[in-house]
Amino acid sequence: MSRFKKFQTLAVIATTGMVPVFYHKNAEAAKQAIRACYEGGVRAFEFANRGDFAHEIFGELVKYAAAECPDLILGVGSIVDPATAALYLQLGANFVVGPLFNPEVAKVCNRRLIPYTPGCGSVSEVGLAQEAGCDLCKVFPGDVLGPNFVKSLKAPMPWSMLMVTGGVKPEEANLKAWFDAGVTCVGMGGNLFPPEAIKAQDWAAITTKCKEAFGYIAAARKK
């Protein structure tokens, strides 16, 4: 069961403005990544379903977060089918993210009042996802669609809440472009977790990157 209500999850994601996206086959490494992000100000974290037995690692992370990072809202990403969504909901996922929009996943999440953020690559997909109850839609792949896609979509559909993922960087110019275009938040993966830092277990570097990213987001929002 999820620890947070739907409105709490969406509010935290919108307020903080960034959701790290991470996967590691080693549970201890994943725990350290969560801790590093938490210390950097992260309050919503997406663990990607991208490897064998990923759900087993996720189950450990849910217990770890509840004990060590009590304010962290832990969700799951890379979900493409309802059965996998249901599995992670049973393990305690507070939100579900996918690279595509699957109406059947929306039904599973809506039944439990869990936010479902599907990947959308067109205005029509965003519209269909909103009709299915998806409050927050993911613009994916962001590096292909670009900030102008967000800006153009928001013109006729200003109520849209969008999270962009794919190519987002913890850099001032990159984040400014996305928030100027009108995104609600960003999802950030590899650029927030450099392979060399993970290999060296330099978790302090991840914390620093999170703090820097939040600073750039705050500055972009003020403008």
What pLDDT score does 140 carry?
98
- Per-residue burial over 130-161, b if 16 or more Cβ lie within 10 Å, else e, is bebebbbbbbbebeebbbebbeebeeeeeebb
Instruction: Write down the pLDDT at residue 138.
Output: 98
Q: Which residues does residue 20 pair with via DSSP β-bridges, in sequence order?
A: 188
Count how many residues are written for the chain: 223
The structural domains of the chain, with segments of one domain joined by +, span 6-222
pLDDT at position 155 over 90: yes
111 Cβ contact partners less than 8 Å away, ≥ 6 residues apart? none
Quick check: 223 pLDDT over 80? no
How far apart, in whole angstroms, are the C-alpha atoms of residue 191 and residue 141? Answer: 15
C-alpha 133/C-alpha 146 separation (Å) is: 25
Give the per-residue pLDDT at 1.
84
- Checking if the pLDDT of 158 tops 90, the result is yes
**In the predicted structure, residue 170 carries a pLDDT above the cut 90:** yes
Q: How far is CA 142 from CA 70, 122, 131, 132, 159, in A?
A: 31, 12, 22, 22, 20
Q: What is the pTM of this model?
A: 0.97
Q: Of 208, 172, 170, nearest to 190 (Cα)?
A: 170
- In tens, the pLDDT along 81-122 reads 999 999 999 999 999 999 999 999 999 999 999 999 999 999
CATH fold of 6-222: TIM Barrel (3.20.20)
